[in-house]
Amino acid sequence: MRRENSKWWSHKEESTDAEHRGGVARSSVEAPVMGVEQRGCVIQLDLRVNPEGEEPVEKAKPFDISKLLVWEAYLRVRSRKGAPGVDEESIGKFEEDLKDNLYKLWNRMSSGSYFPAPVRRVEIPKKSEGVRQLGIPTVTDRIAQTVVKMTLEPLLEPHFHEDSYGFRPGRSAIDAVGVTRKRCWRNDWVLDLDVKSFFDRIDHDLLMRAVRHHTQCPWVLLYVERWLKAPVQSPDGSLEERDQGTPQGGVASPLLANLFLHYVFDAWMKRNHPDVPFARYADDIVTHCKSERQARWLLEVLRQRFAECGLELHPTKTKIVYCKDDDRKGSWEHESFEFLGYAFRPRRSRNRRGKFFVSFLPAVSPASAKSFRDTVRSWKLHLRSDKTLDDLSRMFGPILRGWLNYFRHFYKSAMYPTLRMFNRVLMRWAMRKFKRLRRHRRRAMHWLGSVARRDRGLFAHWKMGLVPEAG
């Protein structure tokens, strides 16, 4: 690491009095840090005894936390950007005094005097009904949580179940959808589980027991517990104390939630029902059963198991689904389900010999397609006549590409109506921008199609062949 990036590490002769944000100091004295020296690619602290014969500062700290670890955590937080917390401090504002801010965080975490600020509550509407409550930590708290996550994750990862896909290195939602697709062909029934308000109902005592089972690191345990108990600040400024749950939006929350469900569900299923395959992405779970009777029995057993751990299966969203296709011609109340934005249901397909048949397959769900169309409408592209087509590609192309890259893996023809709608939006933009195209929809679509054939790289769906066509 370059020396200029680590200047914040040397704070000789500077005051290190630590104060909790908005309150009094949490400790009376925080010892100054000795200088650092760079040897090759490794940053090492100079721990020589000072002339007064005092003990090296690093030994005086209760917790041994590497400054390099804090720096790497900051780099990760900066790459993800994110909204400000209750202190309204953005990444840019934090970096105005980066040297002191990182040093203070390291010093307080090493001395045990770090206390997280309240979490800012943000409500976003759900696709179906109600709102989802997010908890946005401050930039400082996000860096601190990343430090703990980078320490704890390597200890937990080897123990997680192979069919757990959420927020894990080298695994993705597409992997979970792919394995579920294959298992639906081999099993006639699916138990689609929905855990009601999962992140808000995690039992703190059970979660801390799980964390202690994997680590005895005192500062990891201390700060995880403090984050769990950090109050939530509502939009009106009032504070709400928490005795359960971990806020969605925190850096460490997905890892802690995965650990909790590992013992509530994954490990329990492996121990008691090893013959029942499942796929879990965070709190989205599907299990596969051979018969309706097995599915009904498993549902009752799982209701009891989740209740024992302080959780509840949603009474209406949890359902038993029949995987209907040409070989399974029965009928059932539910013959489709949604998992990670994909809708699984009977669909027309074609085999290698060109023969059509009905198979149980995933494709972009109607809710996901509608959500993207609403997003496109919110851009109001037809009013951006001051922009060129290249400008629109730079502004909105990455969002379109990300949506396309996620849903193109399975039954991509289900995306075509939504992508053609995007072409019509671009047509309206062209009609407003160029006088010769006004009130000429067919002519505008022809012009847009000629541009697409010349430069298919402007928008991702043009590369797939979905170029604008008049008709």
pLDDT in the model for residue 21:
43
Element spanning 361, H or E: strand 356-364
What is the per-residue burial (b if ≥16 Cβ within 10 Å, else e) of 237-272?
eeeeebeebbbbbbbbbbbbbbbbbbbbbbebbeee
- Structural contact between residues 156 and 259, judged by C-beta atoms closer than 8 angstroms: yes
Q: Is the pLDDT of residue 354 over 80?
A: yes
The DSSP call for residue 327 is S
Global confidence as pTM: 0.84
Place of tokens 């703190």: 204
Average pLDDT score over the chain = 88
Does residue 27 carry a pLDDT above 60?
no
32 has pLDDT over 50: no
Which ranges of 112-240 does DSSP label H, i.e. alpha helix? Answer: 139-156, 173-186, 204-214, 218-229
Per-residue pLDDT band at 9 (split at 50, 70, 90): low
Identify the three-state secondary structure at position 328. coil
Q: Is the pLDDT of residue 361 over 80?
A: yes
State residue 132's pLDDT score. 81
pLDDT given at position 248:
87
Q: What is the pLDDT of residues 237-256, one digit of tens each?
A: 899 998 899 988 889 999 99
| H or E stretch covering 362 | strand 356-364
- Range with lowest mean pLDDT among 40-54, 235-249, 412-426: 40-54
| Cβ proximity of 437 and 430 under 8 Å | yes
Q: For position 268, what pLDDT does the model report?
A: 97
The more confidently predicted of residues 8 and 215 is 215
pLDDT in tens, 74-98: 999 999 988 999 999 999 999 999 9
pLDDT computed for residue 471 by the predictor: 52
What confidence tens digit (pLDDT) does each residue in 150-195 have? 999 999 999 999 999 999 999 999 999 999 999 999 999 999 999 9
Q: Is 119:86 a contact under the CB 8 Å cutoff?
A: yes
pLDDT at residue 28 in the model: 36
